[in-house]
Amino acid sequence: MFRAVFTGAFIFALMAAPAMGAAPAFKGPDKNPAAAAAGTYKLDRGHSSVTVKVSHQGLSDYSFRFARFDASYDYDPKRPSATRVTVTLDPASLDAGDKSFEENLREPAYFNTAQFTEVKFASTAIRRQKGTNKGTMTGDLTWMGVTRPVTFAVIYNGSAMSFNRAKMGFSATTTLTRSEWGIKTLLPSVADKVAVSIEAEFAKS
C-alpha cells in the first residue's frame, strides 16, 4: 500500500514539475534591429566560431578554426548602422585536427605566429539591406603587419533573451586573398583565396 501511494505521488510530482518550474517557451529571435536592447555587448565564446577554408591542389577544400578570439561593440537600437565592432584573434590557436600540420602553419612561411601574435579587425561602416536582416560590415583587418580593408556579408540572426541575458546573433562571411597579407607559400597549389565563416553570439554586459 505504501509503495503504491509513494509511486503515485512521485509520478504526480514529475507531471507537475514542468508546469510549476519550467522556463517560458522559447519564441525564437526577433530579427528587427530596433528590438534589441541598448548597451555594451561582448562575445559569448562558447557559442561562437571562426572557421577558414582553402582549396588544396583542387583535391579538397580543407578547413580549420581558431580557438581564441574576442569581440565587442556598443549598441544603440536607434542607430544600428553606427555600431562599431572590434575583434581580436590569436592565430596560434588554430585547430586543424592534426598537431603536426598546425605547427607547420604557425611557422614563418605561413602565419608566423611567433612574430605576429594577433589579428585585429575594426569595423568602419555597417550597411543594412533595406527591408531585410542582411547587410555588410566593412573594416580594417590587420594581420602579418599589413592592414587592408575587408567587407563581410552579414546576416543578423536576431535578438532574444537567453538564460536571462539579452543576446544578439550574427553570421558573417568573406573571402581573403592571402597573398595581400604576404602569405605566398605554395601558391598556386594551395589557393590564394581563403573563405572565412563566422558564427557569433553576443551577450549584453
> Which has more confidence, 28 or 190?
190
Find the mean pLDDT for residues 133-153. 97
* 40-73 pLDDT per residue, tens: 999 999 999 999 999 999 999 999 999 999 999 9
What CA–CA distance (Å, rounded) separates 9 from 16?
10
pLDDT of 16 over the 50 cut: no
Q: What is the pLDDT of residue 202?
A: 98
Q: What is the pLDDT of residue 95?
A: 97
Question: Do residues 71 and 200 touch, judged by C-beta distance below 8 A?
Answer: yes
**Superfamily (CATH H level) for 32-204:** Lipid/polyisoprenoid-binding, YceI-like (2.40.128.110)
pLDDT of 127 over the 90 cut: yes
Q: Which three cell numbers stand for residue 146?
A: 599589413
pLDDT grade, residue 156 (50/70/90)?
Answer: very high
What residue ranges in the chain does DSSP mark as E strands? 39-43, 49-56, 60-66, 69-75, 86-89, 94-95, 119-128, 134-143, 146-162, 165-177, 193-204
**Model confidence, pTM:** 0.85
pLDDT of 136 over the 80 cut: yes
pLDDT grade, residue 27 (50/70/90)?
Answer: confident
> Which has more confidence, 62 or 26?
62
pLDDT of 176 over the 90 cut: yes
Find the mean pLDDT for residues 119-133. 96
Q: What is the pLDDT of residue 22?
A: 56
Q: What is the pLDDT of residue 100?
A: 97
* Least confident residue range of 22-31, 106-115, 182-191: 22-31
pLDDT of 21 over the 60 cut: no
